[in-house]
Copies of this chain bind each other. A is one copy, B any other.
Amino acid sequence: MHLSKPRVIIIGAGFGGLNVAKNLRNTKYEIILIDKSNHHLFQPLLYQVATSALSPGDIAIPIRTVLRKAQNIQVIMNEVLSIELQKKIVHLTDGSLYYDYLVIAPGSQHSYFGNDHWQHYAPGLKSLSDALTIREKILTSFEFAERVYGTQNMYKYLTFVIVGGGPTGVELAGAIAEIGRKTMLADFPVLKDEDIRVLLIEAGSKLLASYSENLSKYTEEALKKLGVEVLFNEKVIDIYQSKVITNKREIISNNIIWAAGNSASKLLITLGVELDKYGRAIVKNDLSLPGHPEVFVIGDAACVYDQSNLPLPAIAPVAIQQGKFVANIIKSKVPTYNRPAFKYNDKGMMATIGRAKAVAMIKKFKIAGFFAWVLWSFVHIFFLIDFRNRFKVMLEWIWYYITYKPGARIIVYNKYQHKEKTPLNESV
């Protein structure tokens, strides 16, 4: 059954997919937006949920609420299992749907370089559920450490290992070091500053590889000031329940966090098209699949090169611009051979280090420190979805800045059980 209104199916309501939908709002197209979860997630601030600074509701908003006023958009919470390009069908868990246009924007997932069992011991940070898992693990570790204070077991609870020195690794390491030392020690007077170790493991020889040499160096120094041990040229060989083995050492830790690698969603495999080594679809310069001008791949799932033949980074601005670009192509209906090429307008990159420092590269400008952090705050607040979340998050930041008491240090699920019999202080 083919409808008179051309149907656009969008897979994924991240920055890319949501921007396609927004830009096709109230047009003559029938839009179906499919996502596994009910919310759009402001992923750049996800590390703040993992480190107790923000609540899930602060950085997420129901997709339906964002698109409430669009008459032509249907939102479906479901998983797309596979895509049949020849038949123009996507298969969901409970049915199948035709499309006239398809936009594939499912994002990426953690890549453990073929060691998928590591994910049980070293969770990564992609979803709210991931963030809460990490948060509860960190908070519970301090409780357990106090219970076994003075024994050898204590150290594994107070050693935090972050694998990967990209923006996520840097932001996590800074936040964990700061919250561990400034916030948690005040609540656990028996623990001492020197009991806490935060290690950032990087396989290469610099942090924030895509930043300038100076900013990388600044970041390294700033993290060291927060008490983070930065280890370079350190490759992870194996991970166990409470142990990381690298090419140089063994580290005993109950808190291993994976921020080392991403690969595109496995959904892309079902397309049967050419993928790059990160599992991303290789698209034409109009972001469509070769031979399928009606199918676009955008965001972290697409392999796109910029003017200097470098791959575009997997960041929100790229996905947002690609989303708008694809919506415009669909709306404009230019003949396939006449479509423009996607051009990324690089407005810069930034990453935070702890409570009040950041590094930023904006066009030719490279800045670091408090001013960069103020800029970072404004940019992130500005891009948060609705003005109410903006206001709440701003309040949280101001509160934390003043008091060092982040607002979400709540263990809800209590999944981690304390197993060792412990020498209680002054017990029977």
Contact = CB atoms under 8 A, between A and B. Distances in A.
A262 interface: no
A323 to B, nearest CB: 21
Given A97-B424, A427-B97, A38 B411 contact: yes
What band does the interface of chain A fall in when counting residues whose beta carbon is under 8 Å from B? 35 or more
Interface stretch (A51-59, A286-294, A306-314): A51-59
A426 interface: yes
Nearest to A406: B57
A410 interface: yes
Given A94-B422, A143-B77, A147-B94, A414 B187 contact: no
Interface string A387-428: 011011001000100010101111111100111111111111
A392 B388 CA distance: 12
B62 A412 contact: no
Interface in A120-145: 127-129, 132, 139-140, 143
A45 to B, nearest CB: 14
A68 interface: yes
Interface string A57-101: 110101011001000001011100000000001001111111000
A404 to B, nearest CB: 11
A426 B408 CA distance: 43
A78 B410 contact: no
A36 interface: yes
B62 A187 contact: yes
Contacts of A422: 94-95
A395 B389 CA distance: 11
A263 interface: no
Interface in A4-43: 36-39
A418 B94 contact: yes
Given A55-B57, A56-B55, A64 B421 contact: no
Contacts of A403: 388
Contacts of A186: 68
Contacts of A187: 62, 64-65, 68
Contact of A409 (B65, B68, B399, B426): B65
A382 interface: no
Nearest to A422: B94
A37 B405 CA distance: 18
A37 to B, nearest CB: 6
A37 B94 contact: no
13 contacts: A1-B428, A37-B414, A38-B139, A38-B411, A55-B56, A74-B425, A76-B146, A78-B147, A89-B428, A95-B422, A95-B423, A128-B412, A392-B395
Interface of A: 1, 3, 36-39, 55-58, 60, 62, 64-65, 68, 74, 76-78, 89, 92-98, 127-129, 132, 139-140, 143, 146-147, 186-188, 388-389, 391-392, 395, 399, 403, 405, 407-414, 417-428
Closest 4 CB pairs of A and B: A64-B187, A57-B408, A55-B55, A95-B424
